[in-house]
């Protein structure tokens, strides 16, 4: 089967540009949020792998000015002109990550979102393993910092130990869904796992 050539400036790219969104990926969290009524006004939300800030823009609109949003990534995120959005350059796999995260916000999060993705090597098994490691860290954060009854969303690459990871999410959340948002690129193996109602 011939792959269609990758179109960088596709429909979602244009739509993101027209709406002043920083990334086409913003439509992924927007779709997931709508399907599962993920966010509510006043919530505290953690966005892991938040650069360039497309998810943060959607989340900030959803939780409103009384909400608290923390976005972290290994690269700097251009500040959003919103008082309730804090961002920091942090590596989720660093030894001091949990301590630094606590310094940004000490409360519990209603929703933990992870759009973390490894720098791809082109070796599928390696990329899947790295993707799972990042998703695993996100799940650990959701267990230690997430509020009971809260939600978890994590991007990961299909394959490898995907089933085992889904079981780990099922152990922590009452309802688990696998979602491939419409804005996902054609040849991509990424999906999002959505955990609802943390036990």
36: which strand partners? none
> Residues near 2 by Cβ (< 8 Å), separated by ≥ 6?
none
Whether the per-residue pLDDT at 149 is higher than 90: the answer is yes
12 or 97, which is more confident: 97
- Give the Cα separation of 109 and 138 in Å (integer): 12
- Report if pTM > 0.75: yes
Asked, as a colleague might, if the bond just before 124 is cis with ω within 30 of 0, I would say no
Q: Does the annotation count 199 as an active-site position?
A: no
Going along 90-187, which residue ranges are E strands? 109-114, 146-157, 173-179
- Give the Cα separation of 90 and 99 in Å (integer): 11
Residue 9: its pLDDT value, please? Answer: 61
Residue 81: its pLDDT value, please? Answer: 87
Query: pLDDT tens, 155-198?
Result: 999 888 999 999 999 999 999 999 999 998 888 889 999 999 99
Question: Per-domain residue ranges for the chain?
Answer: 11-198
Contact 60, 84 (CB under 8 A): yes
Residue 50: its pLDDT value, please? Answer: 97
Query: pLDDT tens, 55-95?
Result: 999 999 999 999 999 999 999 999 998 999 999 999 999 99
Whether the per-residue pLDDT at 129 is higher than 80: the answer is yes
Residue 80: its pLDDT value, please? Answer: 92
Query: pLDDT tens, 2-39?
Result: 444 445 567 888 898 899 888 989 999 999 999 999 99
Residue 160: its pLDDT value, please? Answer: 80
Residue 33: its pLDDT value, please? Answer: 97
Residue 69: its pLDDT value, please? Answer: 98
> Residues near 103 by Cβ (< 8 Å), separated by ≥ 6?
none
Closest among 52, 81, 54, 53 to 65, alpha carbons compared: 81
Q: How confident is the model at residue 151 (pLDDT cuts 50, 70, 90)?
A: very high
Starting at the edge strand found earlier in the chain, the sheet holding 68-73 runs 85-89, 68-73, 44-48, 109-114, 146-157, 190-198, 173-179
Q: Phi and psi dihedrals of 79, rounded to 5?
A: -55, 140
Average pLDDT over residues 142-160: 95
Dihedral Cα 60, 48, 105, 148, nearest 10 deg: 90
CATH superfamily to which 11-198 belongs? Vaccinia Virus protein VP39 (3.40.50.150)
Look at strands 190-198 and 173-179 and give their pairing.
antiparallel
Return the structure tokens found at 137. 């860290």
Average pLDDT over residues 86-108: 97
Catalytic residue among 15, 155, 197, 199: 155
């Amino acid at each position: 089967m011939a792959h269609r050539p990758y179109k960088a400036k596709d429909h979602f790219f244009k739509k993101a540009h027209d709406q002043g969104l920083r990334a086409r990926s913003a439509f992924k969290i927007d779709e997931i949020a709508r399907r599962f009524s993920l966010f509510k006004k006043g919530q505290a939300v953690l966005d892991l792998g938040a650069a360039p800030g497309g998810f943060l823009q959607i989340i900030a609109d959803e939780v409103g000015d009384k909400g608290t949003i923390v976005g972290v990534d290994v690269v700097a995120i251009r500040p959003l002109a919103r008082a309730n959005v804090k961002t920091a350059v942090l590596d989720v796999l660093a030894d001091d990550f949990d301590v630094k995260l606590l310094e940004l916000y000490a409360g519990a999060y209603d929703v933990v979102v992870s759009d973390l993705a490894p720098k791809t090597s082109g070796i599928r098994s390696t990329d899947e393993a790295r993707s799972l490691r990042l998703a695993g860290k996100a799940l650990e954060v959701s267990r230690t910092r997430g509020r009971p009854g809260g939600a978890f969303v994590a991007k990961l690459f299909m394959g490898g130990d995907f089933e085992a990871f889904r079981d780990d999410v099922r152990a922590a959340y009452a309802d688990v869904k696998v979602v491939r948002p419409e804005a996902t690129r054609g040849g991509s193996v990424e999906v999002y796992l959505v955990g609802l109602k943390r036990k």
